[in-house]
Structure 1
Amino acid sequence: MAIVSTSTNPTWRKSLVQQLQEQQRKSNEPFESVIQTCVSLFEKIDSLQREKSNSTNCDTTAINPTSNTASSSSSSTANSALNDRIIALQNELKECQKCMMEKDSTIIELNSKITCLMKEKNDLKSKQSDLKISLDCMTDKCRAFEEVIKNLKEQNTCLIDEHTALQMLYDSSKKKFDEINQQYNDLIARVMESKAKDAEFMNEENEKMIRIQQEKVRKQLEDEAGRMTVNSNVEKDSVNLIENPVLSLIPERPRIHFEPHNEIYALKFDKKTHYLSSGGGDRKVKIWNFDDIKINLIQVLSGSNASVTSIDIFEEYLVASSSDHASRVWTLSDYRVRRTLTGHSNKVMSVKFMSVNNKVVSGSFDKTVKIWDLNRNACMRTLFAGSSCTDVANRDENFFASSHIDKRIRFWDSRMETSSTEILLQGKITSLDVTNSGHHLVAAIRNDRLTCLDLRMNELIQDYTADSFTIGCDWTRLRLSPDDQYVSCGGNDGQIFFWDFKTGKLLKTLSTDQHIGTIVSVEWHPTGNLFASADRNKNIVIWS
């Protein structure tokens, strides 16, 4: 194969022609000696065959019988030598052919190896090209990253400078804050000292007022007794009688029992009519009247869409909270729903009037406490407590307390957005009740105790416990007697416990066959001579 290279060929073509020529030379070089040997052998064979043909012609022309014996003998000797040489050359030719076949197979193997190597070379070139492209991309990325690093270093330098400046500002501010905090702590200490003095002064004034009132009542009684003695002939209707104060009595025996609901959550006596209201899982509030032998259903108040959880009564209005995220207000003159207070996002556990008939406070499991204006049927303020509320108790029109499952009692001013203070107790708080004076608050705790707080000093002053006393659920309600002499609460084993409010001494426990399970609610009659209790087994018992 002749490859002609012209001056017009580019450089890569010249290089390719040179590579092919060099490859051709290398492939032909191992076989040049073999080819030359074969050529010489073929020449020798041709020469021997010509000699043989000449000798044969000589033999055929010598037909004369008179030829001498010496001539014939020499001719046969020469033919024999020639044949031997021919055989030897033929054997040598066979060896040469065999060697050529071996060389051919070697050439084929070498050609296949050359093909594979060329393929590998092409693959390597392709990979080299790809790697070069990747290298270029990586180089570009490295340059970009170096630029980013440079920018980040500059930004970091700026941030370090800003941090140094801020640290200096923080140090100076911290110093000022420490000074202000010290002044604040001193001010708090002075305020607390002043409040303590004010509380002592108020206590002294209250005691003076009580003594003055007692002295005044005593003088009035003496004057009335004197007038009754002087005017003994006057008719009894003309005598001005002084109403005796409420005197609570601890009940002795069960009087009536009945099953008003499929599950009971709330009890409340009406101070005006002395009717008993109950609420439960049947979504209704039922109003009852009773005598010594039977109970009478006065009215059923419907409207709730879930269980009734608490009841409160003020003047002519009854309000009840429900698990349907709302509370409802009924008028007791016609037993009609007048207001529906919606806005909570979870069940409402407690609702109370705030010592007026147009303002209500409600606590819910949605971790909020809401104050409602019944005149506008709207929420006046939403207070975020941060924990699910179990009960509320009001001191007056503006101040109230709420209990929560995070073991805290929070105290609120309805005119403010946040709690004024809070007290941490030892367990979940299930119920609250405030004394008539508003100076003390009693709380029921799931760690099987009741505790009393002095609201004037914000400190615990008394615990109410018993060996067998355990609170059975998160909504168990306690109650103070109407004259604040006794604290009562139901236990997990169906017993009712009565303590002396001042001393914390356990005075009595009551039990009956009608109460088997947990006592969830208790309530004193406004006159103090009757008592109601409800358990989780649907039973209400009236005690006397």
Structure 2
Amino acid sequence: MGFILIYSIAAANIMERRGITIKNPRPMWKIYRVISSHLGWVRSVAVDPSNTWFCTGSTDRSIKIWDLASGRLKLTLTGHVEQVRGLAVSNKHTYMFSAGDDKQVKCWDLQQNKVIRSYHGHLSGVYCLALHPTIDILFTGGGDSVCRVWDIRSKTQIYALSGHDNAVCSVLTRPMDPQVVTGSCDSTIKFWDLRYGKPMTTLTHHKKSVRAMVQHPKEDYSFASASSDNVKKFKLPKGEFLHNMISQHKTIINAMAVNDEGLLVTGGDNGSLWFSDWASGRNIQQAQTIVQPGSWDSEAGIYALTYDVTGTRLISCEADKTIKMWKQS
């Protein structure tokens, strides 16, 4: 034992003299809880800004609200007649918004646990939605290739942002221009001028559908977009291409999330999770979700991802009808 200790110290001294820094490896992210209650694929997720609960939407047409600390089911909401593809929770009101394949966009009052407004206008299923960070505006994108802009309170459609040639799969919003960015199955990303409802810039770097986009919660000057070819990072506000983040994630990427510490996670159709450094794009960890007993191997797909407000817990929504919660070991 003494020889090993002396050898280790000597080796460390040699490495230090050569300018080699020894770093402790990052803790690995692992599943610590599996939640089973939905009767279909789990397609969407959102966390309450108070970080006490989260909600999920499924192909079983229900929305379920869960206690974040315990994973206990608190409430089941029904009202959609097709799968629920998108969810968002307001940080200013007691409202939750949902969107589904039934062309419906709904506003739920969580004090009454019922729908108080519906937003009508989409001609096909609604695949994504996002709330503006500072004003009472909702953005929804769908199979009709349009991103629609809604006044939350009056239900008025402010704009129909037209220009994509295929479904709008993903949308993100910002407090400054471009205030809305859309990703489409036509493989393009568009920046929109919210004052006039017109496109500002079109990015054509991807070759496949742009199914997910994410912006660092503490940085306003870059965002990442995901397609089955790779994950790319762009500069804001003009959209200059910065670099590829991940080029070996050989699957359709449906979801992304990033926390305050700059840990980007991507989830794919094959059940793989890649954890990467936001700044460099360097892959840190690869994990594989475990399909639950009774499910097919093909039901390993990950459809939605989000960190909690603290960034220390990760929630994945999956094709085996489960919600999995991850944390660092």
Asked if these proteins are the same fold (TM beyond 0.5), I'd say: yes
Aligned to 2:88: 312
Structure with the higher fraction of residues in strand conformation: 2
SS in 1 for 2:211: strand
User: How far off its partner does 1:427 sit?
Assistant: 1.8
Which deviates more from structure 2 when the two are superposed, residues 456-465 or residues 425-434?
A: 456-465
Structure 2 counterpart SS, 1:295: coil
Q: Is the 8 A contact 2:66 2:74 kept in 1?
A: yes
CA distance in 2, matches of 1:381, 1:397: 18
Q: Which residue of 2 aligns with 1:439?
A: 221
- Partner SS for 1:540: strand
Indicate how the Cα distance of structure 1 residues 440 and 484 shifts in structure 2: closer, same or farther if over 3 A, else same.
farther
* CA apart distance, 1:252: 2.6
Q: CA deviation at 1:290?
A: 4.5
Is 2:31–2:325's contact at 8 Å kept on the other side of the alignment?
yes
Match of 1:477 in 2: 255
For CA contacts below 8 A with separation 6 or more, give which structure has more relative contact order. Answer: 2
Bigger Rg, structure 1 or 2? 1
Taking only the aligned residue pairs, the percentage that are identical comes to: 18
Q: Which residue of 1 aligns with 2:99?
A: 321
Q: Which residue of 1 aligns with 2:326?
A: 543
**Post-superposition shift, 1:282?**
1.3
Aligned with 2:132 (options 348, 354, 364): 354
The yes-or-no answer on 1:260 pairing with 2:43 is no
Aligned pairs, number:
289
C-alpha distance in structure 2 between counterparts of 1:278 and 1:397, whole Å:
29
Q: Equivalent residue for 2:208?
A: 427
Whether the 8 Å CA contact 1:266–1:521 is kept in 2: the answer is yes
| AA partner of residue 353 (structure 1) | L
Match of 1:289 in 2: 67
**How much does 1:536 deviate?**
1.2
What SS does the corresponding residue of 1:429 show, helix, strand or coil?
coil
More helix by share: 1
Would the aligned equivalents of 1:369 and 1:389 in 2 still touch at CA under 8 Å? yes
Are residue 460 (structure 1) and residue 241 (structure 2) matched?
Answer: yes
Q: How far does the alpha carbon of each residue in 1:496-543 deviate from its partner, in whole angstroms, 9 at most, with x for none?
A: 110100011000112343465122221111111111112212121111
| Counterpart among 308, 319, 328 of residue 525 in structure 1 | 308
Which whole-Å CA distance do the structure 1 matches of 2:120 and 2:28 have between them? Answer: 39
Whichever residue aligns with residue 278 of structure 1, its letter is T
In the TM superposition, residue 379 of structure 1 has moved relative to its aligned partner by 0.6
How far residue 363 of structure 1 moved from its aligned partner, in angstroms, is 0.7
In structure 1, stretches of 5+ residues that fail to align are 1-248
Q: With the length of structure 2 as denominator, give the TM-score of the two structures.
A: 0.82
8 Å CA contact retained: 1:530, 1:543? yes
Amino acid corresponding to residue 198 of structure 2 in structure 1? T
Partner of 2:198: helix, strand, or coil?
coil
Partner of 2:158: 380
CA distance 1:423–1:485, shift in 2 (3 Å) = same
Amino acid at match of 1:508: Q
Q: Which residue number in structure 2 is paired with residue 369 of structure 1? A: 147
Within 5 Å, which residues of 2 pair with 1:218-297? Answer: 252-261=29-38, 262-291=40-69, 295-297=71-73
Deviations 1:37-75 (A, max 9, x none): xxxxxxxxxxxxxxxxxxxxxxxxxxxxxxxxxxxxxxx
In 1, Cα distance between equivalents of 2:170 and 2:247: 23
Q: 1:348 to 1:488 in 2, by over 3 A?
A: same
Indicate whether 1:511 and 2:288 are aligned. yes
* Alpha-carbon distance in structure 1 between the residues aligned to 2:102 and 2:250: 29
The question of whether the paired residues in 2 share the 8 Å contact of 1:278 and 1:286 is answered with yes
Q: Which runs of 5+ in 2 are unaligned?
A: 1-25
Distance 1:511 1:300 in 2: 29
1:408 to 182, 188, 198: 188
TM-score by length of 1: 0.51
